[in-house]
């Protein structure tokens, strides 16, 4: 009896299930939100940054304390835990919400960042990242990034759609945002 040496499977010998999964993943929509969230705005075009209001220097909040962290639901496909520091929530101009985000992995690793979401353009911006000594490292960019809905990394989309900007309009009271986070979404979420 001769023994055959194992060989690596070729692309053509992969199970059909793997190919079907690959086809499914490539077919998933990765779409952005409406440029203006369903309302008129003089700076709703993310490509035309000249029309956006100029942000003043952003003051970084105190580093988050565990007692102020409010967990929020993102997706059943992630094992990470997502939390907002309720004390860090601020509203600037008419549609910009700033917040501290804390992401905890199953192993206990923490990622902390200070960010903003602009409701009228469905964009996000990173202002600073947290260091292990509980201080901030400012990010040297003023770039706004379009929020996309996807199943692999959707915490910004969840914050935009379900908590901060239901129907594309910002919640104008930080306490209302905290209530939405605690109850698992704003009552108007999912209506657009």
pLDDT digits (tens, 9 = 90+) for 68-90: 999 999 988 889 999 999 999 99
pTM: 0.71
Q: What is the pLDDT of residue 173?
A: 84
Is 126 within a domain? yes
H-only helix segments in the chain: 16-27, 155-158, 174-183
C-alpha to C-alpha distance for 98 and 139, rounded to whole angstroms? 15
How does pLDDT run across 146-192, given as a tens digit for each residue?
998 877 678 999 999 989 988 777 777 889 889 889 988 876 765 44
Is 5 within a domain? no
Position 18 confidence tier, pLDDT thresholds 50, 70, 90: very low
C-alpha to C-alpha distance for 78 and 116, rounded to whole angstroms? 22
90, 97 in Cβ contact below 8 A? Answer: yes
Task: Provide the strand spans (E) within the chain.
Answer: 31-32, 69-72, 81-85, 90-92, 96-104, 110-118, 123-130, 136-138, 145-146, 148-149
Q: What is the pLDDT of residue 98?
A: 96
Is 123 within a domain? yes
Q: What is the pLDDT of residue 47?
A: 52
Q: CB-hemisphere CA count at 13 Å for 56?
A: 4
C-alpha to C-alpha distance for 185 and 166, rounded to whole angstroms? 9
Structural domain including 79 reads 34-183
Is 8 within a domain? no
Is 192 within a domain? no
Tell me, what DSSP letter sits at residue 65? P
Position 52 confidence tier, pLDDT thresholds 50, 70, 90: low
Is 3 within a domain? no
Nearest Cα to Cα of residue 33 among 160, 129, 136 = 160
Is 70 within a domain? yes
- Cα 130 to Cα 10, 95, 115, 149, 192: the distances in Å are 44, 25, 11, 25, 34
How does pLDDT run across 87-129, given as a tens digit for each residue?
999 988 768 999 999 999 999 999 999 999 999 899 999 999 9
User: Which of 19-28, 45-54, 156-165 ranks highest by mean pLDDT?
Assistant: 156-165
Q: What is the pLDDT of residue 41?
A: 36
Is 15 within a domain? no
Q: What is the pLDDT of residue 70?
A: 97
Total domain count, the chain = 1
- What Rg value do the Cα atoms of the chain yield, rounded? 20
pLDDT at 17 over 60: no
Q: Which of 4-13, 128-137, 150-159 has the lowest mean pLDDT?
A: 4-13
Q: What is the pLDDT of residue 117?
A: 95
């Amino acid at each position: 009896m001769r023994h055959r040496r194992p060989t690596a499977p070729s692309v053509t010998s992969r199970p059909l299930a793997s190919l079907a999964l690959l086809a499914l993943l490539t077919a998933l929509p990765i779409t952005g939100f409406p440029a203006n969230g369903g309302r008129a705005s003089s700076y709703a075009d993310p490509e035309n940054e000249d029309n956006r209001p100029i942000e003043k220097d952003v003051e970084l909040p105190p580093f988050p304390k565990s007692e102020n962290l409010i967990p929020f639901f993102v997706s059943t496909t992630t094992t990470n835990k997502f939390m907002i520091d309720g004390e860090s929530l601020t509203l600037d101009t008419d549609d910009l919400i700033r917040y501290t985000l804390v992401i905890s992995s199953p192993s206990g690793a923490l990622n902390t960042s200070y960010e903003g979401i602009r409701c009228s353009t469905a964009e996000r911006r990173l202002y600073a990242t947290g260091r292990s000594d509980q201080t901030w490292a400012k990010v040297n960019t003023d770039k706004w990034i379009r929020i996309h809905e996807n199943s692999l990394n959707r915490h910004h989309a969840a914050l935009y759609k379900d908590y901060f900007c239901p129907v594309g309009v910002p919640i104008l009271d930080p306490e209302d945002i905290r209530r939405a986070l605690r109850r698992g979404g704003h009552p108007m979420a999912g209506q657009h």
